[in-house]
Structure 1
Amino acid sequence: MSKKTIYFIFLSLFLISLHFAVSADEKSVTYTAQSLEADLLNNKPCKRLEGNVRFTFHQTGIVLSADKVYKYDDEDLIEAQGNVQMVDKQGRLIKADRLTYYSETKLATLQDNVMFESENVTCYTQQLVYDMEKKQSSFSNGVKLLQNEMILTSTNGMYNGITHTATFLGEVVLSDPRYVVYSNQLSYHTTTETASFSGPTKITAEQGMLTTAHGGIYQIAKKYLLFNQGTLDIKDLSLFADRLELFDAKDCVATGHVSLRSKVHNMVITGEKATYSAKDKKTEITGQPLLTSTINDELIYLRADTFIVLEKENIKEKHNPIHEIHALNNVRLYQELIQGIADGAVYNSSDNTIRLQNKPVVWCGNYQITGEDVHLAILEDEQVKMFVNKNLFMASADPVGNYNQVKGHKMTADFQKGAIEKMSVEGNGESLYFILAENNELVGMNHMKCNLMEITIKENQLERMEFKPKPNGVFYPAEKIKEEQMKLEDFVWYGEKWPTKENILAMNPLNEI
């Protein structure tokens, strides 16, 4: 065999070895490349590897590949350039334009167009520091994390590959089809798809906005959001609670110290639990709820077992919806001019009207009014307009304990500062009126029956009474009045149930008036 042939075979074997098995002396790292040359970089001797460069770190199971790698001779430093990729045993992948790795600290710094992939999570950043031993990454100069339909961005962040938890700090924004979360600190578990946020946080959704100073959690896959001491703003309503839970950005459950406030009508309802349905535009409040509203600079209190707030379209002002509030069971009403009880009530915040239903009893001044349905309109200048439909019965006690009484089918009345000014009674009208002398001695009693009564009272004194058609009436002198004649049929005095401000507020354990 000629010397030329032997030289050719030797050269071919040498080139093959460079391509497949350029190997390090260290047992923990092996590397291959298409070419290997001695070089001097930054005045430091090194090896320059080019062409399909591949480093295998056997201790951690990580494989590094790049177009070009510089391995320094006198220090444990590797610098990689061009199409840099790192892959571990679990298939986690990191891509970048440049890499610097110190084998002593096991820290790799990747820069420029960095992409990190782990299972179904992808991160983008301009700089990433990766701890090969601890499987931990830290991001700086901005980071974006994507998983399914969720996008999470932040100024800085860290990812733990063992616990599958990412922590983000500074200008954190998480967005998906349901919510956009703004926070300064957020932890995200990539396996359970759960985000935990700390400190001041704001969340926007189609239905409104949520804010809290105490953080919470968002389970993305379950479409479940939990707030601690948060506020949910829905159009012109604001719902605060110790604990707020939202489901699919549509329904909400609030517990603890619950407060529902109208931003337009100066009204608030407190309670222990509230539920909100976006589909029905309905909020239900339970747990000894109390409604407080300001009407003409006067506070009005309404107590019930349950409040249901319905949002209805305002035809005249579409941007200003009407809130119709239904009070259910054990209703108690207190305002300085008017008080009442019932088993049901409807309060309209836009026009300050209250409709008492199911056995209502109303007190205005010294007058007790009952009927199947009582409608109150609270007007300006301490005026109250009252409508009673069906089975009207009105009574008032005089100074000596007699009860003046009026009954009929329905009534319309105007009250000024708690005193009747005008009253109209229609249908089967009947009245008892006791006449007193100046010393309050009983003079006699008028008993009248008529289809229509028109009554005007001034300074609590009967000024005019008109009957249509001609009434049937009897006057009984005091000495001829029998006890059974002093009460009209169906007369009941409910004085022991007369609400006061003190007994209404005493039922409120939250003391948030």
Structure 2
Amino acid sequence: MKKSPFSFLSILIFTLWTFSSFGQGTNTLEILKADSLKGANGFERLLGSVRMKNQNTLISCDSAHFFRTSNMAKLYGRVLIEDQEDPVTTRSTYAEYDGNTKLAKLRNKVVFTNGETTLYTDYLNYDRAQNIATYFNKGKVVDSTNVLTSERGRYEVNRERITFLDKVVLVNPDYTMKTEYLVYLTIPKTAETKGLTNLVSKEGNTLDAQKGSFYDTQNKNFRFFDGVVETETSRVKAEELLYKELEAYYEGKENVRVFNKERQVEIFGDVGQYWEDRGYSLVHGKALVRRYFEKDTLYLTADTLISQDHESDSAKYLLAFHSINLIKADLSGIADSLVYNYNDSTIQLFQDPVIWNQKSQISADSMVFYIENEELKRVFMKEKAFAIMTDTLTNFNQMKGRKMTGFFEEGQISKLNIEGNGESLYFALEGDTLTQGVNRTLSATIELKFKEGAIKRVKYDIKPDGRFIPVQKLDEKSSRLDGFLWRLEEKPVLDSIFAWRPVIEIDPDQKNLFNEPNAEIRMPTEEEIQKSLEKRGLNKKKPVLTPLKTKNN
């Protein structure tokens, strides 16, 4: 039966329409333009002003090899891959594009641009289906704020997230950061690292973290884990350390330590805050102070510490509250609260303070210590002042009064002045080996002088009331002044200080990526040396030595 022309034409149009629709709805690479086309049987060479298309992806280059059967192309010279739906463009001098997987492999002078963010590398794989670009063998990302480089990287375009791996360096006008793993969000411009992270500011300040960090590069906020921030005047460390650079504010949690380099004072605690511009710090939770002197160190424990030390302040001080324990080479003490004045190195103790100095114990409602040239020079005690000294036979010599001033030489008490309702009780010895009795005296004022901790002379006012009690008549009451209380078991020792807050010292040799060489110098192997010599025609084979033949052979 003869087919009508209409039926044949309808079938042809339907077939063409179906083929066209199929081509648009699949991953087939399409040739849009080329100056010339050579080849057939599944392989074609496209020369001059080449333009191709793969769904929403436009491709242009100087020339291309198109493998129609495998639906892939090799692109040469001024390669440009553009997306019609998002602002991503990619350039290189060579690329391979697979239309089935939508994977572009770009090589040599690759420039990957997404809005304000540009990635430079020589080796980039760009998965158009997932919108993920991966580079290896070094890459650089530049935006309006930062420049980041690394050996390897992964750019998740849809998430505006770039992961940098191996020898990562972040540079901006304020800081340079080095680490081995960094995640950068391009929109808020934040950087999150894992593991060792080191920063150096333009002023020379260092910011280091052993367990990673978070850096808001626009707002200049930092969060460090096991971190240290060191400036010319201070060093702050904590397990979790927040640093707001624009506010010069630090906040630390767990094992906080703040070191004032000028004062040589270091404060430790569970939680801390520090305002650098104000020179003000607040630390609490098993707080500890170490005041470094040339000859020794003063240790102080408390529940809470407040330090005010700024050049504009007339009053510079350290306040300590509750559970006060104090240790220095020549004294130990306890109190409820304390004030340490930075200007004159005075220490004020309040609410039942007790101080021990070698063989002596002193107590009062409040007292003030004066330290000069790193040594204890004087102590002033007010209200209910009571001093106890032990002699060579462990007897308790005792003095009390309304006010009392003690003077020290080379760490030992040398003189004691008592003012108002003075009372003294000291044991008379014979040759430092035998107790003869006790001298008890009432006087408005009393002055006692000591030598090597022992009473050598006592001076009273005009009408003292005194008596001597022989050793045979001594009992508990007659050998004690009212209010006597020997509290040696409360005396703090270094072991109790270290038990209060164990301190792990900062390792000065801790690894820092800024100390690592930028380039590795590797010696070539014997095989590489041999190949190099052969390539340059310098390889001379060693002659094979054979035994010489003699006439007898």
TM-score norm. by structure 1 comes to 0.75
Q: Which runs of 5+ in 2 are unaligned?
A: 1-22, 506-553
> Which of residues 300, 303, 315 is equivalent to 2:301?
303
Distance 1:233 1:447 in 2: 58
SS of the equivalent of 1:476 reads strand
Alignment partner of 1:456 is 2:445 = no
Which of 348, 353, 368 in structure 1 is aligned with 2:362?
Answer: 368
Where do residues 347-362 of structure 1 align in structure 2 (5 Å cutoff)? 347=340, 354-357=347-350, 359-362=352-355
Q: CA deviation at 1:273?
A: 1.8
Counterpart for residue 420 of structure 1: 413
The answer as to 2:154 corresponding to 1:158 is yes
Tell me how far apart the structure 1 counterparts of residues 273 and 279 of structure 2 sit (CA, whole Å). Answer: 11
RMSD of aligned alpha carbons: 4.1
Are 2:405 and 1:411 aligned? yes
Q: Give the 3-state SS of the residue equivalent to 2:194 in structure 1.
A: strand
Taking structure 1 as reference, are residues 55 and 492 closer, same or farther at Cα in structure 2, changes over 3 Å only?
Answer: farther
Structure 1 position 152, deviation (Å): 2.5
Q: Check whether the contact 1:270–1:512 (CA below 8 A) recurs between aligned residues.
A: no
Structure 1 residue ranges without an equivalent (≥5): 1-22, 316-321
Query: How many angstroms apart in 2 are the aligned matches of 1:296 and 1:188?
Result: 46
Given that 2:199 and 2:208 are in contact with CA atoms closer than 8 Å, whether structure 1 keeps it comes out as yes
> 1:348–1:354: 8 Å Cα contact kept in structure 2?
yes
Which of 91, 97, 100 pairs up with 1:96?
A: 91
User: For residue 37 of structure 2, what is the aligned residue in structure 1?
Assistant: 38
- TM-superposed CA distance for 1:136, in Å, is 1.8
Q: Does the C-alpha gap of structure 1 residues 211 and 351 become closer, same or farther in structure 2, counting only changes over 3 Å?
A: farther
| Structure 1 residue 286 displacement after superposition | 1.6
- For 1:311 and 1:345, the matched residues in 2 are separated by 16
SS of corresponding position for 1:134: coil
Give the equivalent residue in structure 2 for 1:258. Answer: 256
Query: Residue type matched to 1:387 in 2?
Result: V
How do 1:213-252 residues align onto structure 2 when only pairs under 5 Å count?
Answer: 213-220=210-217, 223-248=220-245, 250-252=248-250
Deviations, residues 116-154 of structure 1 (Å, cap 9, x unaligned): 333553333454331223322123564333444333233
1:310/1:208 CA distance change after superposition, 3 Å: farther
- SS of 2:196's equivalent in the other structure is strand
2:57 equivalent among 51, 55, 62: 62
Aligned to 1:395: 387
1:436 pairs with 2:423: no
CA contact (8 A) 2:325 2:492 kept: no
Distance (whole Å) between structure 2 residues aligned to residue 171 and residue 350 of structure 1: 47
Residue 475 of structure 1 corresponds to 466
* 2:399 aligned counterpart, secondary structure: strand
Residue 87 to residue 483, structure 1, CA distance change in 2 (3 Å):
same
- Show the counterpart of 2:278: 280
Change (3 A) 1:364 1:429: farther
1:301-351 C-alpha deviation (Å, 9 max, x unpaired): 311111234444499xxxxxx995432233111235312122332446898
- For 2:443, the aligned partner's letter is M
5 Å matches for 1:101-116?
101-103=96-98, 106-111=102-107, 114-116=110-112
Matched, 1:505 2:497: yes
1:15 is matched with none
Percent identity for Structure 1 against Structure 2 = 21
User: What is the CA-CA distance between 1:261 and the residue it aligns to?
Assistant: 4.7
Q: What residue identity is the alignment partner of 2:380?
A: V
Residue aligned with 1:440, SS:
strand
Closer/same/farther in 2, CA of residues 139 and 353 from structure 1, 3 Å limit: farther
* Letter matched to residue 430 of structure 1: G
| Aligned position for 1:291 | 289
Of 109, 114, 120 in structure 2, the residue corresponding to residue 124 of structure 1 is 120
Q: In proportion to residue count, which structure has more strand?
A: 1
SS of residue paired to 1:472:
coil
Partner of 1:6: none
Contact persistence 2:94–2:108 (CA under 8 A): no
**Is the 8 Å Cα contact of residues 352 and 363 (structure 2) preserved in structure 1?**
no
Q: How big is each residue's C-alpha offset from its partner over 1:95-129, in whole Å with a ceiling of 9 and x where there is no partner? A: 42524223266432445554333355333345433
Distance 1:121 1:45, change over 3 A: closer
Partner SS, residue 195 of structure 2: strand
Deviation at 1:248, TM superposition (A): 4.2
**Which of 67, 86, 100 lines up with 2:81 in the alignment?**
86
The answer to whether the aligner puts 1:195 opposite 2:191 as a matched pair is yes
Could you tell me which amino acid in structure 2 is paired with residue 414 of structure 1?
A: F
| Cα distance in 1 for residues equivalent to 2:195 and 2:415 | 59
Residue number in structure 2 paired with 1:29: 29
**Partner letter of residue 432 of structure 1?**
S
Q: Is the 8 A contact 1:445 1:481 kept in 2?
A: no
Distance 1:448 1:29, change over 3 A: same
Question: 1:19 is matched with which residue?
Answer: none
Closer/same/farther in 2, CA of residues 444 and 352 from structure 1, 3 Å limit: closer
> Aligned AA for 2:176?
V
Identify the residue that residue 178 of structure 2 maps to in structure 1.
182
> What is the CA-CA distance between 1:158 and the residue it aligns to?
2.0
| Contact 1:415-1:422 at 8 Å conserved across structures | no
Query: Aligned to 1:173, what secondary structure does the other structure show?
Result: strand
Distance 1:414 1:146 in 2: 66
CA contact (8 A) 1:252 1:275 kept: yes
Paired residue type of 1:337: D
Q: CA deviation at 1:167?
A: 1.4
Does the 8 A contact of 2:272 with 2:282 survive in 1? yes
User: In the TM superposition, what is the alpha-carbon distance from 1:233 to its structure 2 partner?
Assistant: 1.8
**2:159 is equivalent to residue 168 of structure 1:** no
CA contact (8 A) 1:272 1:285 kept: yes
1:282–1:314 Cα change, 3 Å: closer
Gap change, CA 1:332 and 1:464, over 3 Å in 2:
same
**Residue 497 to residue 207, structure 1, CA distance change in 2 (3 Å):** farther
C-alpha change, 1:344 and 1:135, in structure 2 (3 Å) is: same
1:47 aligned residue = 46
**Cα distance change on mapping 1:97 and 1:37 into 2, 3 Å:** same
Distance apart, 1:499 and its partner CA: 2.4
